Amino acid sequence: MDKRQAIGSWLSGPRAAAENAGVDFGYRGQQLGLPEEGPGSIARPGRRLGALAVDWAICVLIAYGLITDGYGQSTSNWALLLFFVMGALTVGTVGFTPGKRLFGLRVVTLETGTVNPLRALLRTALLCVAIPALIWDRDGRGLHDRLAGTVEVRI
């Protein structure tokens, strides 16, 4: 192997090196039986982060405008509490938050296609902790989704 190939494989990362060695990873969601593109496919990270930003902004605005007087630590704490309540209630009933609806996303379980309130409560609590949401598997699901048995898909 010459220097260019060695540097190229290092820059491309372990997935590209494994694919060059003949490993077939498939597409995101293939192991879950989901389509590669279109409705029902795994939500991409950009859409998920956009929906999260919209939901967080809504909660901060409500906390800032209705609950606290001025922006401070208490505003952030109230915003987190509102985010938890909004996520648990909306995902547990209709399957999406306002941000997810805006970005065309929905949270479902693979077995039934809907999320029961207990799964939504667990998923939202883990999302509020933030660390499980930052650990993803090869299908693009966060640890919070894996532990709750849910998946975020495109509508």
% residues pLDDT > 90 (the chain): 59
pLDDT for residue 6 is more than 60: no
d(CA 125, CA 99): 17
Do 15 and 25 meet the contact criterion of CB atoms below 8 Å apart?
Answer: yes
Between these two residues, 8 and 72, which has the higher pLDDT value? Answer: 72
Q: Per-residue pLDDT tens for 86-124?
A: 999 999 999 999 999 999 999 999 899 899 999 999 999
DSSP the chain: --HHHHHHHHHH-HHHHHHHTT-----TTTTTT--SSSTTSBPPHHHHHHHHHHHHHHHHHHIIIII-SSSSHHHHHHHHHHHHHHHHHHHHHTS--HHHHHTTEEEEETTTSS--HHHHHHHHHHHHH-HHHH-B-TTS-BHHHHHHTEEEEE-
Structure tokens at 129: 């902790």
pLDDT for residue 14 is more than 70: no
Q: Comparing 43-47, 56-60, 65-69, 95-99, which segment has the lowest mean pLDDT? A: 65-69
pLDDT for residue 9 is more than 60: no
Between these two residues, 5 and 138, which has the higher pLDDT value? Answer: 138
Between these two residues, 34 and 84, which has the higher pLDDT value? Answer: 84
What is the value of pTM for the model shown? Answer: 0.82
Q: Per-residue pLDDT tens for 15-39?
A: 666 667 666 677 888 888 889 899 9
